[in-house]
Chains A and B, each alone.
Chain A
Amino acid sequence: MKNLLRGLLASALLLLCGSALYAQEKVYIYAAASTKEVVKELTDSYNKTAKVKTEFVTVFGSSGDLARQIEAGADADIFISADTKWSKYLDEKKLVEKGTISNFASNALVLIASPKAKTNLKFPDQLLEAIGDGYLAMGDPKPVPAGKYGQEALTYLKLWDKISNAKKIAFYPDVRKTLNAVETSQADYGIVYKTDAQLSSAVKVVYTFKEKSHSPIDYPVLGIAGKSKGESRAFLNFLKKKDAKKIREKYGFVVK
């Protein structure tokens, strides 16, 4: 038992020293929840090719929460927002390093069906009939970007008034909770990003909303003012490379 403890302690120390050797300085990335998987792979891939390894600390959450934390002085170097509204918000507060704002990726909006829901109807025209006794889950349009796009798309299809007047919509505070509600069949249908739908094997995509039916779903990436360390600049440049674009496309994002 004692030996085991010693061994564990020794390896823990070794790990600590080991990582300290590689890590020059930590880069803090604050990113929208829907980019969790792709950001992880991007930082890994960056460290595989870069001469100097960088230690990335990633913080994921709703874009609004993260933007407010950055405004309050959180130690962020890079911010990836799921909505241009929050990058503009930070820009107005003079928190964006000049010339660092660019397009991280774009996304599409899809209608998904739960494992128990009917999928053999004509979507989106028969959505209201398909919902029947059930519910449509989506982000809350005011605060959640995915909800805002969803409302725009349903309005474009002339379905919004019908479905919302019938009280058939359940609003969630973020996309992942929306996805979860459909996965568990609590809601029969849901509106989420294509990239989120791709992550779940339980739900089925029954319709992809046309691009012109909602405002563009752009994820801006930016450096935080006064925080432009060499490493965070290097990572922002890395995002513009071909390999980095491919990784984003693999997860279903569109890189413009």
Chain B
Amino acid sequence: MGLSAGELDAIRLSIQVGIWSVAAGLIPAIGLAYLLARFSFRGKAVLDAFVHLPLVLPPVVTGYLLIIMLGRYTPLGSLLQSIGIKFAFNWKGAVIASLVMSLPLMVRAVRISIEAVDRSLEDAARTLGAGSFRVFITITLPLSVPGIISGGILGFARSLGEFGATVTFVANIPGETQTLPLALYAYTQTPGAEMMAARLCAVSITIAVAALVISEIIARRAYGRINR
């Protein structure tokens, strides 16, 4: 297909951002899902709504809120900068934007899985003397693996398609923050670049389908193990 260096950069960056946002987001997502699925506490509805906010807000607004919370001159942003973590206009900022956007999808998928775990199994483990943490690690978590996998893949897919929050938070810098959707958008804005846009579109579809097929295979294996 003969992709240009810029296009290859965008593809590599998209995959890198997607993997990082799942890697960094999955553990908090599991924690939140467990909290929301198994406990009732004050402010649960608020936490639930807060986690789901990026799903309903326009992505551009989420990006704007990220600037307000983690921007270069905000207290939190300056604190992170002083310990060497910089989000402004680099790929780490793109990871943060993707992570925030995909977190609700990961939490939902994991939560449904945890809620489906038979509580009598957890209770049985408890009567045998296992503490809460041990029950979680040895019973709940392994039985939720299919949900965790599909959550991870959903999160990865969401990251691949992330546009609004990313472009607002870290702009569109080739080789640094220009992911596939951003490169694609730039092409649609250029007269005569239809072919290039179509090419990147084909690449996006290929990556997305490959991710879905892989997740399907892994999830089936996991189900097979659980049901054995």
Interface residues of A (CB under 8 A from B): 62, 64-65, 67-68, 85-86, 89, 116, 134-135, 137, 140, 142-144, 167, 169-173, 177, 180-181, 184-187
Contact = CB atoms under 8 A, between A and B. Distances in A.
Contact of A184 (B67, B89, B167): B67
25 contacts: A64-B188, A64-B191, A67-B191, A68-B188, A86-B191, A135-B88, A137-B171, A140-B186, A142-B186, A143-B187, A143-B190, A170-B89, A170-B172, A170-B173, A171-B172, A171-B174, A172-B167, A173-B186, A177-B167, A181-B67, A181-B171, A184-B64, A184-B67, A184-B71, A185-B73
Interface string B185-211: 111111100000000000000000000
B52 interface: no
Nearest to A85: B191
B172 A65 contact: no
A169 to B, nearest CB: 7
Interface of B: 64, 67-68, 71-73, 88-89, 167-168, 170-174, 176, 182, 185-191
Contacts of B171: 137, 170-172, 181, 187
A170 B182 CA distance: 13
A10 to B, nearest CB: 33
Contacts, number: 69
Given A140-B186, A170-B172, A171-B171, 17 more contacts: A64-B191, A140-B172, A142-B186, A143-B185, A143-B187, A169-B173, A170-B170, A171-B173, A173-B172, A173-B185, A173-B186, A173-B189, A177-B167, A180-B64, A181-B171, A184-B71, A185-B73
B72 A65 contact: no
A186 B186 contact: no
Contacts of B186: 140, 142-143, 173
A143 B168 contact: no
B173 A64 contact: no
A144 B171 CA distance: 13
B88 to A, nearest CB: 7
Contact of B68 (A142, A173, A184): A184
A173 B173 contact: no
Given A64-B190, A143-B186, A173-B185, A186 B71 contact: yes
B191 A186 contact: no
A234 to B, nearest CB: 31
Contacts of A167: 173, 176
A135 B89 contact: yes
Nearest to B174: A171
A62 B188 CA distance: 11
A62 B167 CA distance: 15
Contacts of B73: 116, 185
Contacts of B167: 172-173, 177
